[in-house]
Homo-oligomer: A and B are copies of this chain.
Amino acid sequence: MALIVQKYGGTSVGDIQRIKNVAQRVIDSRKQGHDVIVVVSAMSGETNRLIALAQQVTSDCSGPEVDLLLATGEQVTVSLLGLALQEMGQPSHSYLGSQVKIVTDKAFSKALIQSIDARKIHMALAEGCVGVIAGFQGVTCEGEITTLGRGGSDTSAVAIAAAVKADLCEIYTDVDGVYTADPRICPNARKLDKISHEEMLELASLGSKVLQIRSVELAANHQVNLMVRSSFNNNAGTLLTSEESTMEKIVVSGVALDESEAKLAIRDVPDQPGICMQVFGAIAEANINVDMIIQNTGADGRADLSFTVPALELAKAKKIVMGLKDKLGFTTIDADEDIAKVSIVGVGMRSHAGVAAKAFALLAQNKINIDMISTSEIKISVVVRKGEGKKAVAILHDGFELYAT
């Protein structure tokens, strides 16, 4: 008998029939002798509906009232799932984030969890109940309702699993697990049985939207066994493990595509200390995340500085840099939205030389031009033309023989 936290996302509780299906899955787990805590998101579409309501009354869609509004989404789901479980004969107790004291800081709409009081949950389990907990939401010390940001329910689930010392945290979603590449791009992509936390972190941050990145970090830090699996079938999912437990080190685990970024190139910047600090300091102040940064210094003592930002923030970032033009003394700034970032990830890269060289060769043989390169210990990312992104993924996926056999 194990203690399992199961998290069901918006698609998995998207309508009444699906909520009933989730209730049946939970009961099946109970029948196998497990104690179960369920963490749920808002029904799919609900959060967007609520945001649309808020946007009709305010131009500034942030602050305590917005969190209070969005928190109703998960409140509806825990109520309905609780009722469904009871109707099917399974005692349950539904809780809001505030009721199990998921205490967060006061950063509304992106609050960080500080502590969870697991006593109420343990009491419910001891009485034979399933605990149903609203994901995505918390409460400040002063009793104000907060939310954790998009995808925050994954983080809620892992934090609760850590607090109750669960044996397993299952994240149910609409895909079977983590694949070597997006199956829509590589139909022969293979589902991974295991992946290390580090690889998952790289894949999550690279646009593979299976798990929220914070939840993976949290699972790694608190040794939570995390499994990603589908709520629509009984297929085995993908287990996230610490690197050590992976018996056979695979060189490359997966290939990811990110089409959401854009590039800014500042031309002919005097190559002086402090330039980067000024540029990226100003951009960070505007709360824009910079991803890849490349600087080439020419023989004339002037440099080209290129970097990528979310495409949605491109105009804002460009304006900020333009404001520094006189101070920095550059000639022009070019914006480029026609880019895709392709990345290969794998902990085995650490001990295998030549992975980058092989990747560059594969792309060159297929006449795909590389615009930017960035590498880490377990990841190689390249920027290519947007139209060639999917082709590059397929070439690398096949070249590293990641396909199902």
Contacts and interface: CB of A to CB of B under 8 A. Distances in A.
A165 to B, nearest CB: 23
B53 A80 contact: yes
Given A75-B72, A80-B69, A87 B64 contact: no
A87 B65 CA distance: 12
Interface in A151-192: none
Given A58-B87, A65-B94, 8 more contacts: A16-B57, A19-B57, A57-B83, A58-B84, A64-B82, A64-B94, A68-B82, A99-B143
5 contacts: A53-B76, A58-B83, A66-B79, A68-B82, A72-B75
Interface in A43-88: 50, 53-54, 56-60, 63-66, 68-69, 71-72, 75-76, 78-80, 82-84, 86-87
Interface in A87-102: 87, 93-94, 96, 98-99
A16 to B, nearest CB: 4
Contacts of A66: 79, 83
Interface of A: 16, 19-20, 50, 53-54, 56-60, 63-66, 68-69, 71-72, 75-76, 78-80, 82-84, 86-87, 93-94, 96, 98-99, 143-145
A362 B280 CA distance: 88
Contact of A16 (B53, B76, B78): B53
A50 B69 contact: no
Number of copies: 2
Nearest to A59: B87
A88 to B, nearest CB: 9
Contacts of A79: 54, 65-66, 68-69, 72
Contacts of A143: 99
Contacts of A59: 87
A19 B53 CA distance: 11
A86 B65 contact: yes
What are the 7 A-B residue pairs with the smallest beta carbon separation, nearest first?
A69-B79, A72-B72, A65-B82, A58-B83, A57-B84, A58-B87, A16-B56
A68 B75 contact: yes
A99 B139 CA distance: 11
Contacts of A80: 53-54, 57, 65, 69
Contact of A83 (B65, B93, B145): B65
Given A59-B87, A87-B58, A143-B99, A68 B94 contact: yes
A319 to B, nearest CB: 25
A91 to B, nearest CB: 11
A57 to B, nearest CB: 4
